[in-house]
A and B are shown apart, each in its own frame.
Chain A
């Protein structure tokens, strides 16, 4: 079965916001994730928008901008590695900021 067909057949619609609600964050004032926006404009795949487990990235088609909800970031690194253009200036949040797992 071609891959595209397989994906549209999936009936699961996850509510990622419900999942994220349970996670403890201390957001910083400024983002610790900085993609090169010029590359976002030419990026076909927009991998970050679906690969991020915390749904940090959303592509605003109208304003041709990447919305970065860094306050949800779980600091996993998937975006940095998967980015088609390897253009994310990726850092950990400062000490005292970011996610705190109470379970892990």
Chain B
């Protein structure tokens, strides 16, 4: 049969590439179809890749992959409108946990590695439909041709129109995704190292709460690259819609915050980009398999929002799907029953274990965003303002006033809901 292969993978991002390379390494035939001109051309993230999971797919990536800076510094910055408080964890001379990368370079490199191992890469090709025959997925239809395979792996990203088409996913709700906007800003290597307190080759990851996003479910970030910084933020789409906000104005506001602005001084915009980030977590995962099909990465909504883990879940879910596909091919059985092994593998891995641990997190923070990400940042900075003030008012009086204000600022029931929400989060993670 013309245009027939063992597996078709739709989407040339980290998940798709990892699935395809796993299948090729097992000696099976795989075609990877990417709609962009090259892998990474339509991908956006913060961001950084994590060494340990990346090594599972590319054991020697540190030698040849295009990497920016190795992370030594994590800074957590909480901003009110004009103030900020930060905590900086710096660890040098430890094993590297992550590297900042540029997706257009890194994904492209990954795809080239996959080709070296026998993956057939088709770019600039949009898959429009999945072909279904007698309840089984048997291939895909692009604008020009039909391709057939025993298994189709959907790695087509957060929107996954194809997973929706075959009934594995419903349409996404606004509260289940965040809209991310990002700018890559050029700064000299020296300025970056000076401003972020780094030695040559070292990188920093800044995590920003509040600022323009006070009271909302949103997070900002700064990653340092060799000669650029990536600054961006992600805000829950329903928040933006409800409050009638423009995402790029939110980003500009954070960039001009007095605590952030100095880092970007004299920088020159290189590129502006935007993308959606899955946010629904475990509760909003689609069905992950059916007859002849598997769903991986962002298409399967596999993102751990608290830890900013998406690419590693994409890569490992791709690998596990690839392994499942190889087993199914060897058995000659592509039924949902056989492919359900993929879900079992995910459940036994950190992927679903972590997503389950955090399954209530987004709902709780969503419902308490005004207080956790609005009232408390203000209260904490108020404490520091009080603590550092020198105004001839007796300290004890100030402390009493502050403690009293916690109980009078808002109703007791609000305080109780805050505490309860916090307890539920902790219990949910640890139980």
Q: Which residues of A are interface residues toward B (Cβ below 8 A)? A: 3, 7, 10, 12-14, 16, 18-20, 22-23, 45, 47, 50-51, 53-55, 74-78, 80-82, 86, 91-96, 98-104
Q: List 30 A-B contacts (CB under 8 A).
A: A3-B243, A7-B243, A7-B244, A12-B252, A22-B272, A47-B244, A51-B245, A53-B179, A53-B181, A53-B247, A74-B273, A76-B275, A77-B158, A77-B177, A78-B179, A80-B159, A81-B172, A81-B173, A94-B126, A95-B143, A99-B41, A100-B41, A101-B43, A101-B44, A102-B104, A103-B103, A103-B228, A103-B230, A104-B40, A104-B44
**CB <8 Å contact, B246 and A95:** no
**CB <8 Å contact, A103 and B104:** yes
Closest-CB distance, B223 to chain A (whole angstroms): 11
Query: Across the interface, which residues of B come within 8 angstroms of A102, CB to CB?
Result: 41, 104, 271
Residue B273 contacts which of A23, A51, A80, A81 (CB distance < 8 angstroms)? A23
Query: Across the interface, which residues of A come within 8 angstroms of B142, CB to CB?
Result: 95
Question: Of A55, A86, A95, which is in contact with the most chain B CB atoms at under 10 Å from its CB?
Answer: A95
B124 at the interface (CB under 8 A from A): yes
User: In the complex the two chains form, what is the Cα distance from A12 to B257 in whole Å?
Assistant: 11
Given the contacts A95-B35, A101-B43, A50 and B274 also touching, CB distance less than 8 Å? no
Dominant secondary structure of chain B at its interface with chain A: mixed
Query: Across the interface, which residues of A come within 8 angstroms of B244, CB to CB?
Result: 7, 45, 47, 50
Query: Across the interface, which residues of B come within 8 angstroms of A77, CB to CB?
Result: 158-159, 172, 177, 276
Q: Which residues of B are interface residues toward A (Cβ below 8 A)? A: 35-37, 40-45, 102-104, 107, 123-126, 142-143, 158-159, 161, 171-174, 177, 179, 181, 183-184, 212, 228, 230, 237, 240-241, 243-249, 251-253, 256, 269-276
**CB <8 Å contact, A12 and B271:** no
Query: Across the interface, which residues of A come within 8 angstroms of B37, CB to CB?
Result: 96, 100
Given the contacts A22-B271, A103-B104, A92 and B126 also touching, CB distance less than 8 Å? yes
**CB <8 Å contact, B42 and A100:** yes
| Cβ-closest 4 pairs across A and B | A104-B103, A53-B274, A19-B272, A95-B124
Given the contacts A12-B252, A94-B143, A101 and B247 also touching, CB distance less than 8 Å? no
Query: Across the interface, which residues of B come within 8 angstroms of A47, CB to CB?
Result: 241, 244
Which chain B residue has the least Cβ–Cβ distance from A46?
Answer: B244
Residue A95 contacts which of B125, B158, B251 (CB distance < 8 angstroms)? B125
Closest-CB distance, B120 to chain A (whole angstroms): 16
Closest-CB distance, A58 to chain B (whole angstroms): 12
Query: Across the interface, which residues of B come within 8 angstroms of A45, CB to CB?
Result: 241, 244
User: In the complex the two chains form, what is the Cα distance from A91 to B126 in whole Å?
Assistant: 10
